[in-house]
Chain A
Amino acid sequence: MAEVLLEVRGLTAGYGAGPVLHGVDLDFQAGELLALIGANGAGKSTLLGVLSGLVPPTSGSILFAGRNLTGARPERVVRAGIAHVPQGRRLFATMTVRQNLVLGAYLRRDREVQSDIDRVVGYFPALGDKLQRVAGTLSGGEQQMVAIGRGLMGRPRLLMIDEPSLGLAPKVVETVIEVCQSINRDGVSVLLVEQDVVVALEAADRGYVLENGRIALSGSARELQDDPAVRKAYLGV
């Protein structure tokens, strides 16, 4: 059995108006590409926020690579090796693409930042001639690429990507998802959060279905694709 990378137990969290997550359990093996799917408002982004330290949990525990990250501040989470590519890209819009990428390596003190920028461009050749462009002027797809690249610059063991397909043309979504897969093949575990269930389950090894703040279903991507409840609720068949 592969090494357990992330172990989430009984995670509860909310924003004051009542809990959004009600005791979420999640197990993540090292090297997996995991899909987290669910409808709008199911709590997917909140779960990512709690994992990355932006939202404090009210109870439960987060164990990452043997380390307790429950309630840890974001900078500690990043240092531990988790990168969170937030929904809506959230680039530093007035800075250049290169500056965005360099900031992704903020906590690193080594001298290999340039070679990692080359690596990001290797994944996303479209960014090759746009490093000096102001990030806010790029197309949505390119911005998503920069956002993922910025996440990679921290050399994470786990890359969490929130709704990369949002607002992108199907062809661009395909490119972005393919790169997520090749990042995964290169040894980075990937947690893909998607409303687009077809896209997510095509790419993933396993999946979790989040409904109203609870894990409703989990299993291999194939099982979930064939599950009648998933088919009915998310695939429309």
Chain B
Amino acid sequence: MSLFVQQVILGLMLGGVYVAVAIGFSLVWGVLNIVNLAHGALVVVGMYATWFLFTHAGIDPFLTLPLDAVVLFAIGYLVQRGLINRVIRAPLFFTLLLTFGINLVLINLFLLWFKADFRSVTTSYSGAGLNVGAVTIPYIRLAALVIAMLLAGAVGFFMNRTRTGFAIQAVGADKDAAQLVGIDLRHVYALTFAVGAACAGVAGGLLSTVQAISPTAGEPYTLQAFVVVILGGLGRVSATVVGGLLFGLIEVLAQSQVPGLGAGWSNAIAFAVLVLVLVLRPQGLLGRLA
């Protein structure tokens, strides 16, 4: 029994990471209608930023998160304003192709600057955890879950309580009507992508504390963010939270409870979830039908 509880806790904590990764991806997809294939690479920018600040300036990885957010916000704004805005009115395929290209460019820049070496962020408290009976809760993963929830709350607040958040929603709902109330489309597009990138940066910072950092470390996360958004549903922060936590649970429980499945099966599990949701409930658990 305690083993099962342990797995559920680990699943939720993994889910927290997925929530952090998927929030920005979902926002960009929902508002801009861009499936951002460079999202994983943006996560890796956050990983390297935290690694750099931790290794060279001795800053605690969790304290680097706001910096990751600021750096990625700036990068995101420039990428959208300078590149993606140029093809945003073209069919989905063009933005898919462009973000695929941006992903390749970023990965190769990482290779150039950081080499292919694996790097890690190991703090004094990295291995420590809270023991409750036979169940262990690793501090770092617990912190990642809490921060992911705070990030979700912050994005939800921004989207539903602020003037800019409403402008972003308006653009997502009807571009022309949004322009007719005076919203500058190019700016709001860039802001949306910037917020999405900032979330990716925070996710990267969190991930740097729990896994090895390498130029291609973000690749699985683009797929996982995609599955989380499909599972939860597009267009709402709460849907991403539910989708992310549930997906983390499914992955951990499937790997530990189903005989014959192990860690190597995570992609297979992700795709199985993807296909099942698309067949049974295409709008996602909390999504609205378009």
The answer to whether A93 and B173 have CB atoms under 8 Å apart is yes
Most chain A beta carbons < 10 A, residue from B177, B183, B288 = B177
Which residues in B have their C-beta under 8 angstroms from that of A90? 174, 176-177, 180
State which residues 26-50 of B face A: CB under 8 Å: none
Let me know if B169 is at the binding interface, CB within 8 A. Answer: yes
The answer to whether A106 and B163 have CB atoms under 8 Å apart is yes
Which residues in A have their C-beta under 8 angstroms from that of B184? 73, 75
The answer to whether B181 and A94 have CB atoms under 8 Å apart is no
Which residues in A have their C-beta under 8 angstroms from that of B177? 86, 90-92
Which residues in A have their C-beta under 8 angstroms from that of B180? 52, 54, 74, 78, 83-84, 86, 90, 151
State which residues 50-92 of A face B: CB under 8 Å: 52-54, 73-75, 78-79, 83-84, 86, 90-92
The answer to whether A75 and B183 have CB atoms under 8 Å apart is yes
Which residues in A have their C-beta under 8 angstroms from that of B166? 95, 99, 102-103
**In the bound complex, what is the Cα–Cα distance between A236 and B288 (angstroms)?**
46
Let me know if A107 is at the binding interface, CB within 8 A. Answer: yes
**In the bound complex, what is the Cα–Cα distance between A86 and B169 (angstroms)?**
19
**In the bound complex, what is the Cα–Cα distance between A99 and B163 (angstroms)?**
10
A78 and B182 contact, Cβ closer than 8 Å, known pairs A90-B174, A90-B177, A106-B163:
yes
A53 and B173 contact, Cβ closer than 8 Å, known pairs A75-B184, A102-B166, A103-B166:
no
B2 to chain A, nearest CB (A): 44
Most chain A beta carbons < 10 A, residue from B179, B182, B184, B185 = B182
Let me know if B167 is at the binding interface, CB within 8 A. Answer: yes
Chain B: CB-nearest residue to A160 = B180
**In the bound complex, what is the Cα–Cα distance between A145 and B170 (angstroms)?**
19
**In the bound complex, what is the Cα–Cα distance between A166 and B285 (angstroms)?**
37
- Mask of B179-195 contacts with A, CB within 8 angstroms, 1/0: 11111110000000000
Let me know if A104 is at the binding interface, CB within 8 A. Answer: yes
A193 to chain B, nearest CB (A): 14
Which residues in A have their C-beta under 8 angstroms from that of B183? 75, 103, 106
6 contacts between A and B (CB under 8 A): A53-B179, A74-B179, A83-B180, A90-B177, A90-B180, A103-B181
